[in-house]
Amino acid sequence: MSKRSGGVEYSAFNISLITLLAIALIGVFSLFAIYQGFQSYNNREMEQAYYYMLIGIFGFATMGFMFFRSKTLVKNKLDLPKAEVLTTIECKKCGYKIVRKFERGDYIFKNDIACSKCDGMMTITRVHRKKKTEKELEKEFSNTWQS
Amino acid sequence: MESTSTAVIKLFLQVGQLFQTDNEIQTIIQIIFSLSFILYIFYAQRIQTMTMLRQVEGTLRKVKALRDEGRQVSIQTIKEIGKPEKDPTPGVERFMESFLITPTSMDPAGIVDKFEQLLNTREETFEAEVKALAPAASDSEIDTLENLLEAALALNVYYKVIRHYYLLGKKTMNIYVILQIHMVLPLIMREIEAYSAALLAFKQGMPIGDGVGALTAAKLMHGQQWRRIAKETVAAEGSFEGRKILVMKAEGPGGTVGKPGDAIRILLEEHKDEVKAIIMVDAAGKLEGEMNGEVAEGIGAAIGGTGVEKFRIEEAAKDFNVPLYAVAIKQDISAVVAPLEEELFEATDKAVEAVKRIVNEKTKEGETVIVAGIGNTVGIAQ
């Protein structure tokens, strides 16, 4: 369950062996506690049944926490940002304007693009990311505020 | 005298008496409860150390993935643009492991010249290596590829430093070793995320947040005749309300910052006593709570980096007794090397207005002003 990378060994991208063993152990004990709980309930020992059930449920909750925490780490392993970049091209002669997605080779003030409406040449006047929405800005602010 | 642990045990046993032990299960729970506290007394620091190690490990995994992505993107882009005959992978790996030894500061006299010489050698070596890796790339593409490889190199350094502290902490299980990296991790992660955004920008040759200074200058010099005055640096002459405006910026659209220090000195030497003000426009880090794209004005040389160019500009301004004015376009660290945001693009219009106002307020008709647009000009021509 471990991966060798760059000559250094550390836990794999999924749950480590120790965590897995711990989860399994807690699972066995929790199941046993629940079983004991039912036994006590059948014997009309309500107080004991209540404690056994509590231990069992607590054990399963711990298992869930350990499992999903490891899952979150796996999910966070690659988070390359994505950005929608737009290019605005304008013809100075006829005023024709195009806004399209950025393509490799675009740059601000590039002026060798033929206009499709007249015989003039078009110039790239703007290259930038799309403006953030209110929601994104709000999220950014709340993240900053929390940190 | 009772030891602390005995006292604590007694305390918990007394607390435990609050619970009635009518049956065996309650007794077991009470023992577990008491034991867990006793264990915590002796192992609290170890548990905390292990928790921190786990958090560092999670971050390390993420950084490793980003470092690998940086390496992969670099190789792929070199193959696409440079059309190399050989596999560029060993060359990229060698580049990612390269380093610079800064000059000693025990005797600081002349350190700027020494540092500049080292930086020039580094720049020339990088350029030659990228040219060899990507023979079909144009000059501006080579500049941008160099930037891409530098972003990959930075991610590699971050990864190796975090890994160093993680492994050292694991080896020694010393909380203070792990604490050092754990404390600064959120701040380091912001820088790492910024560099990962740079991969996208440099891969495609998009303008970046740091280019706002160059873009402001480009807007002022667009449509005018420009000439190369220093290495990868251009200047154009224009006029505004009776003043002569000398605008300079790095030569775009390749990814370079040029040599603004040399360029300003050359312009001052050419125009000697005519120049009455130098206005520098650059991107500046914003504080939390400030708006992205806020434009602020101040005094001094608005330029970051190693400090060599700043020193050269301040020296030139002092030699010719010309005041330095600064226009800063505020932005978050995550925006500096990421594709240019619309707010920042629009802020350059405000910066142009600020420059014009400073020209009007600080100089008279017939005088000359130098406007220096500082920053990486990737994706921005002139």
Give the model's pLDDT for residue A1.
35
pLDDT of residue B226: 95
Answer yes or no: are the C-beta atoms of B323 and A112 closer than 8 Å.
no
> In Å, how far are B68, B100, B145, B193 from B93, measured between CA atoms?
11, 16, 14, 21
A10 within a domain of the structure (yes/no): yes
Using an 8 Å Cβ cutoff, are B245 and B359 in contact? yes
Q: Pull the structure tokens for residue B351.
A: 């910066």
Kindly state the helix (H) or strand (E) to which residue B319 belongs, with its residue range.
helix B308-319
Q: What is the pLDDT of residue A53?
A: 87
- Closest CA–CA distance from residue B289 to any residue of chain A (Å): 8
Residues A90 and A62 grouped into a single domain: no
CB contact under 8 A, A128 and B344: yes
Q: Does A51 touch chain B (CB under 8 A)?
A: yes
pLDDT of residue A101 exceeding 90? yes
Which DSSP letter does residue B53 get?
H
The CATH number covering residue B344 comes to 3.40.50.1470
Nearest to B381 among A109, A130, A144 (CB): A109
Q: Among A126, A86, A89, which Cα is nearest to B380's? A: A126
Residues of chain A with Cβ-Cβ distance to B205 below 8 Å are 104-107
Per-residue pLDDT of chain B (382 residues; tens, 9 = 90+): 556 667 666 655 655 554 555 666 667 777 877 888 888 888 888 888 988 998 899 899 989 999 999 999 999 999 999 999 999 999 999 999 999 999 999 999 999 999 999 999 999 999 999 999 999 999 999 999 999 999 999 999 999 999 999 999 999 999 999 999 999 998 999 899 889 889 989 999 999 999 999 999 999 999 899 999 999 999 999 999 999 999 999 998 999 999 999 999 999 999 988 999 999 999 999 999 999 999 999 999 999 999 999 999 999 999 999 999 999 999 999 899 999 999 999 999 999 999 999 999 999 999 999 999 999 999 999 9
Query: Out of A85, A110, A147, whose CB is closest to B186?
Result: A147
pLDDT of residue A10: 41
Is A141 a member of any domain?
no
A80/B69 touch (CB, cutoff 8 Å), yes or no = yes
Choosing from B204, B239, B266, the residue where a domain stops is B204
Same domain, B146 and B220: no
Considering only CB atoms, which chain A residues are within 8 Å of B65?
77-78
What gap in Å lies between CA B198 and CA B188, rounded to an integer?
15
Q: Which residues of B touch A58 (CB under 8 A)?
A: none
Residues 6+ apart with CB under 8 A from B186: A147
Kindly identify which residue of chain A lies nearest to residue B24, measuring between CA atoms: A48
Query: Residue B133, exposed/middle/buried by CB under 10 A (0-12, 13-18, 19+)?
Result: buried
CB spacing of B61 vs A77 below 8 angstroms: yes
Same domain, B106 and B167: yes
Q: Are residues A62 and A90 both part of a single domain?
A: no
User: Cβ A78–B65 below 8 Å, yes or no?
Assistant: yes
Q: Report yes or no on B25 lying in a domain.
A: no
Are residues A90 and A27 part of one domain?
A: no
Q: Which residues of A touch B62 (CB under 8 A)?
A: 76-79
CB contact under 8 A, B199 and A80: yes
Closest CB from B60, B252, B341 relative to A107: B252
Q: Identify whether residues B232 and B318 lie together within a single domain.
A: yes
Whether B95 and B112 map to the same domain: the answer is yes
CA-nearest of A133, A75, A107 to B208 is A107
Of A8, A76, A104, the CB nearest to B205: A104
Per-residue model confidence (pLDDT) at position B23 = 62
Residue in this structure with the two tokens 């790095």, named with its chain if needed? B250
Cβ(B355)–Cβ(B216) under 8 Å? yes
| Set of chain B residues whose Cβ sits within 8 Å of the Cβ of A110 | 253, 381
B381 found inside a domain: no
* Structural domain that includes position B320: 209-373
Domain count, chain B: 2
Interface mutation vs chain B, best among A73, A112, A127, most B CBs within 10 Å = A127
Q: Which of B62, B168, B206 to mutate to test the interface with A (most CBs of A within 10 A)?
A: B206
Q: Is residue A145 part of a domain?
A: no
Q: How far out from the chain centre does Cα B275 lie?
A: 32
Q: Which of A10, A52, A104 is nearest residue B25 as measured by Cβ atoms? A: A52
Whether residue A112 lies within 8 A of chain B, CB to CB, comes out as no
Number of residues assigned to chain B: 382
Count of structural domains within chain A: 2
ipTM of this predicted structure? 0.84
Average pLDDT, chain A: 76
- Residue in chain A closest to B29 (alpha carbons) equals A51
Residue type, B197: A
**B327 and B192 belong to one structural domain:** no
User: Do B197 and B218 reside in the same domain of the chain?
Assistant: no
Q: Which of B25, B193, B205 has the CB atom closest to A48's CB atom?
A: B25
Token pair, residue B266, equals 């050359």
Residue B90 shares a structural domain with residue B215: no
Which of B139, B110, B367 has the alpha carbon at shortest distance from B252? Answer: B139
Domain final position from B204, B225, B245: B204
A75 in reach of chain B (CB within 8 A): no
Of A47, A102, A147, the CB nearest to B204: A102
Mutate one of B61, B191, B193, B199 to test the A interface: name it (highest A CB count within 10 A): B61
Chain B residue whose CA is closest to A76:
B62
Task: Mark whether B198 and B101 lie in a shared domain.
Answer: yes
Asked if A108 lies within 8 A of B215 by C-beta distance, the reply is yes
Beta-strand ranges (E) seen in chain A are 2-5, 8-11, 85-91, 97-101, 113-114, 121-129
Domain that holds residue A126: 85-131
- Last-in-domain residue among B147, B180, B204: B204
Question: Are B143 and B222 in a shared domain?
Answer: no
**Tokens found for residue B57:** 């490990």
